[in-house]
Structure 1
Amino acid sequence: AVRGALRAGPPRRCVSYGLGRFCSCPVARRQLALLLLLLDELGVPPGQCFVFDPAFTEQELALLGELGLRLLPENEEGKHRVGEAATLFYMIHCGKALYNNLLWSNWAPRALARVVIVGNSFRGIEERLLSRVLERDYSYIAKVLKGTEEIAFPAHPDYADTFNDTSIHWFPLEKLKELSSEVWECAEEPTYEECEDLEIIRREEGGSAPCAAALQP
């Protein structure tokens, strides 16, 4: 399903947010195992997989380095631009603001067409939130719904707490082009000033420019 989602070209990069404390948490450990399997299946070199979670311990950072994965230098809050490379974003059970920020950072049809997200179901987010809250706090999720293709992970009793509410999302260029021009004209950076349950760890005050895909060697 991930291969089918990347019609713009095979993925050359992966960005993983929010893996969690995998040394002490079995759920996080299984999510890491799936990430490694996906990299192998898709042919993405470990050195082109960038990871970040502010909860990582020094031991976990060292283990990720031994696996060949690379640590993002700062907390991007999900504001990562894909550049020219099709990119898989692996962000299971992350906060809604992280997805919203990622969409904002790539808010153009050709950029979004190079984005594939393995993470919380956008349909589920839409179903659980009042429309006015979704449009106010997570406007980029709300605006992209009609341009999104989504396949839910199959349910498995052994992994109910590991991959629940998880889907693969991609954004076909032909569907994005069908959205009205007004959708693309408004592209203000999200602030979440009225959000009552912001599920994201904010970085310290500093530059706000999204991290470009120039992390590639």
Structure 2
Amino acid sequence: MAARWRWTTCRSRSRQGEIFGILGRNGAGKTTTVECLTGLRTPDRGRIRVLGRDPRRDHAEVTRRVGVQLQDSQLPERLRVGEAMRLYSSFYPDPADPAELLGQLGLTGKEKVPYAGLSGGQRQRLSIALALVGRPRVAVLDELTTGLDPHARRDTWDLIGEVRSRGVTIVLVTHFMPEAERLCDRIALIDAGRVLTIGSPAELREQAGQPTLEDAFVALTGRTA
């Protein structure tokens, strides 16, 4: 059963152009959290605002401003890259140019390739492209690098940095400690659906009195990573 998310435990706001991490072990409530943020799930209690909007009441407005790549999101195997980009572009009043976006993400020449024919890294690049095609102010990326080899993972980290450089605020959900330590400006550490603490990787290490973020995670959650 998914962890119960109590938003009243967290009053921090993400800042424009930052990478805000949500870090926790499996089952801690990370995906539940972003589903609440994007209006796909109703929180048990508390109040959520995304760009000043209620994700449930103002779902259409939030959807136009927030790009989302959720964990285990899949496309039909026969759907071609170009078709997927045109489909997602049709959802927005002022989308980015699909060809230009694919070029920026290293997918030029892949427009006619079906989803089933893409490598794991290429699928992640396409996921980012689809999350950005609506010119979002916030991009939610959930477990983006799970299952990627080290080379593809590092390439994806570079892409995330490029997205942030555009002024897009990124909410990055991960359980991979080196990823969080390398990319995140601040991290919300959650456990069993509750926010335990928020701070930069360095602040979390200092708070726990530990040399690495992984050690700090173990100390602050009181569990094995």
TM-score scaled by structure 1?
Answer: 0.33
Bigger Rg, structure 1 or 2: 2
- Higher RCO, 1 or 2 (CA under 8 Å, sep at least 6)? 2
